[in-house]
Chains A and B, each alone.
Chain A
Amino acid sequence: MLSEYLQNIVIIVVFAAVILAIAFDVIDMLLAALLGVSILIIFGIFQQRDILNVTRSAGGPLALLFGGMVVARVLVPTGIFEYVGSRYVLLTRGSGKRFLLSLFLLVGPLCAVLPNATTVILLAPIIIRVARTLQISFIGPMIITAIISNSAGLLTLVGDPATFLVGSAIGMTFLEYLQRVSLGGLLTVLVLIPLMPILMRDIWRKEVSLPPDLHPEPLLRPYLCLFALAILLLMVALFIAGEMLPSRIVPPAVAIIAASLGLLLVYEAKVDHVTDVLKDVDWRTLLFLITLFCLVEAFAKTGVIQNMSLYLHAWFGTQFLFVCLFILAFVGLCSSLLANIPVVAIMLLMIKGYLVSSQIVPETALAANFHDWPTTTLPIFIAMMFAGTLGGNATLIGASANVVAAGICATQGQTISFATFLRYGAPLMICQLLTAALYVLGLHFFLQ
């Protein structure tokens, strides 16, 4: 086994090589990630316990994606995507500007009740259809959809797993979140709107004349659609209330239940084969996400994030404002290249350690169930929520919704490269983090 020092070097080199290979499109991105994981296995760096850790951290998100993909696929033969898509086209009146603005109205509320990537999966067929009718590329709108869905996760405590992780760790209630964080989350979504005419100039200016005889397309199988929507509604209801049931049903389990019911519907209605539905699941995207989680698990072992946090006290003392700004930048950067859940989980422990070292809280604050955080420390945790969630908007691999959006585009014959996503994502993320910084700044002085 390599020493810790050598292990860290191998991990960082492999991680950087995979990112660069994906960024410069040297080889297929799934292959790059798989090769990276293979190298870590060969060097004995990635072990059984790491796989168990990945299973723990990635199982939930992957189950959510699988469930979303199956439910979306079950809806296809009902004709609902054509129906909603044609209505959406009529709503835009041929205007690209109206198309983009209505995306915000459509995605935001949906993300309040559905996981980000699931929202992207369900809306993608509609968005692609509208884009084609408006004679514009669907790449930009799909990227924006992923970014809005990630950002809208900040609207409520349960909107994003990373937000929920931080919130529950500090004992923040749903209502407290609405009072202290939701406004900031809304601002980070709204700040995207004035950037649309700049980043999506062609779409923003696009005006096409819709055929005068354009009418909403009828549903192909109304009854099937009714049952499928009932499954979707049950899924939404369980997402919201599942954890309050006597037998707790967590969101990933809800997704699996909904997928099973969807497959049962397909089987009974005999409109499709179960095998065909499963074939259409985007396994490639799921596999890519698993490998990304593996690489993140390995990267966490390097202690880079832990080291940074240990230096916080030496660098900033108890100047919380600077700590907040540092976290926004550092976690934002980490989260743009790593899955945000593990980043936030490590950072959370380290921030607790920083506050203990700074003697702001007693050592028992390191315990998972410590909730007696002084109000003045809240901006630090809130900065972490913003950075963890918004950081993922910068790159293709920053969030599962981004990977899913790219996967869907690929199945439709258009590739979202790392560079393409970065061109839209990076400026948007920077503007969002600046907005978040202003909000956290205000909150800091208000709570002082």
Chain B
Amino acid sequence: MPKERARLWLRWFIVVVGFGILQGLPGQGLAGHILDMVRANGKVRVGVSEGLTGFSWKDAQGQWQGLDIDLARAVAAAVLEDPNKTTFVEVTSTNRFPVLLAGKIDLLLRNTTYTFNREAAMGILYAGVYFHDGQGFMVPAASPIQHLGDLNGATICFAQRTTHERNLADLLTSRGWTYTPVPADDLKELQDLFFSGKAQVMTADRGQLAAIRAQAPGGPEAFRLLPEVISEEPLGAVVRAGDDAWFLIVRWVIFALIEAEERGITQANARTILTTSTNPADKRFLISDGLSEKTLNLKPGWVLRVIEAVGNYGEIYERHLGKDSPLKLERGPNRLSKNGGLLYSPPFR
């Protein structure tokens, strides 16, 4: 290459690099790559179940509905100032972690039990528990199986590679009972196996069972849940490890929903409380002084946006799982701690 041309390139290169340096490499702060990408994409990509009433399912208009969906919208409202800036990706119980780790989704909200092995070994973090569930059993209403003790010798279907599979094996093996396992790849196959009579019993989280029962052929009355629960299944919101800011935002959005219920702040009254309440703590909760927001790079008023978008935790629960839903699930452990449940939020101060 002629020297002149080389010099020209070199000059151009110096200008380019100089400009790059002047701009400065984007700084780290607490903001990480997932949060940056969520902002750049203008949407939160959320992995949800393939269709589970109450948690994540499409209504007659093709709109996603459910507890998982509202949580995702709450996160979008906090980060992107718009609860509709979400994309839902259907994942199965077997591909949910590979899809999350491959970076195809930013957040996993799919009936995923919080366990030590998962969090310690797999490069994922649970940002919080948003539904306390337990593994139960469903049988046809006419089945002779009334209690756990009747499961000896039964044909039982379950989703493969889930905590349910292991819990079931542990329980029956420890009691010296036999059973015929009928594993399913996904939720649809699980329901097909059970409703076609290839399995006498279906085991899953009680929330899942209630959702399946609500949509069961022949109506919910054709099936019943056994009274026993064999495990604790805290369902959590899962993120990839390595982005503290993203992890903290998801975690505190969940806490904000619980705290709002605790304070009696609802979707309907949030703005009124902000303007008329005499309790400064409520105002600080809804619009904080901004230091934490700056650290997490959140626009002030994120709690207000979250509550106005989806309501508080109790409202979301009743809408999708509780008395206002086809499932009619009791709140049980998902009540606030002051009401005898397991839910409470660390202080917002």
Which A residues contact B (CB, under 8 angstroms)? 1-5, 7, 27-28, 31, 34-35, 38-39, 41-42, 44, 46-49, 51, 303, 306-307, 309-310, 313, 349-350, 352-354, 356-359, 362-364, 366-370
Report chain B residues within 8 Å CB of A5.
Answer: 41
Q: State in angstroms the CA–CA spacing of A358 and B28 once bound together.
A: 37
Write the chain B residue with the least CB distance to A35: B13
Known: A51-B25, A357-B94, A368-B123. 14 other contacts (CB 8 A): A1-B39, A39-B16, A42-B19, A48-B26, A48-B27, A49-B33, A306-B103, A307-B102, A310-B102, A310-B104, A352-B98, A353-B98, A366-B121, A369-B121
Task: Decide yes or no whether B160 CB sits under 8 A from chain A.
Answer: yes
Report chain A residues within 8 Å CB of B101.
Answer: 349, 353, 366
Q: Describe A's contact surface by its main secondary structure.
A: helix
Nearest CB of B to A111, in Å: 33
Report chain A residues within 8 Å CB of B160.
Answer: 359
Question: Number of contacting residues on B, CB 8 A?
Answer: 40
Asked if B121 and A1 sit within 8 Å, CB to CB, the answer is no
Report chain B residues within 8 Å CB of A309.
Answer: 102
Write the chain A residue with the least CB distance to B166: A362
Task: Decide yes or no whether B122 CB sits under 8 A from chain A.
Answer: yes
B16, B42, B95 — which one has the most chain A CB atoms within 10 A of its CB?
B95
Contact partner of B98 among A35, A48, A356, CB < 8 A? Answer: A356
Report chain B residues within 8 Å CB of A3.
Answer: 40-42
Write the chain A residue with the least CB distance to B18: A38
Instruction: Write out, one digit per residue, whether chain B residues 153-187 have a CB within 8 A of any chain A CB (1) or not (0).
Output: 00000001100000000000000000000000100
- Which B57-105 residues have a C-beta within 8 angstroms of A? 92, 94-95, 97-99, 101-104
Report if A359-B94 is in contact (Cβ < 8 Å); known contacts: A48-B26, A366-B123: yes
In the A-B complex, the 5 residue pairs with the closest CB atoms: A353-B98, A367-B121, A357-B95, A41-B20, A306-B102
Asked if A364 and B122 sit within 8 Å, CB to CB, the answer is yes
Report chain A residues within 8 Å CB of B27.
Answer: 48
Asked if A4 and B37 sit within 8 Å, CB to CB, the answer is yes
Task: Decide yes or no whether B6 CB sits under 8 A from chain A.
Answer: yes
Report chain A residues within 8 Å CB of B323.
Answer: none
Write the chain A residue with the least CB distance to B15: A38
Asked if A366 and B33 sit within 8 Å, CB to CB, the answer is no
21 residue pairs bridging A and B, Cβ less than 8 Å apart: A1-B26, A1-B39, A3-B42, A27-B9, A31-B9, A34-B13, A35-B13, A38-B17, A38-B20, A42-B19, A48-B28, A303-B102, A303-B103, A307-B102, A352-B98, A356-B97, A356-B98, A363-B122, A364-B117, A364-B118, A366-B97
Report chain B residues within 8 Å CB of A313.
Answer: 95
Asked if A1 and B40 sit within 8 Å, CB to CB, the answer is yes
Task: Decide yes or no whether B23 CB sits under 8 A from chain A.
Answer: yes
Task: Decide yes or no whether B221 CB sits under 8 A from chain A.
Answer: no
Contact partner of A366 among B40, B103, B122, CB < 8 A? Answer: B122
Nearest CB of B to A279, in Å: 21
Q: State in angstroms the CA–CA spacing of A401 and B328 once bound together.
A: 67
Nearest CB of B to A22, in Å: 13
Q: State in angstroms the CA–CA spacing of A142 and B235 once bound together.
A: 59
Report chain B residues within 8 Å CB of A359.
Answer: 94, 160-161, 185
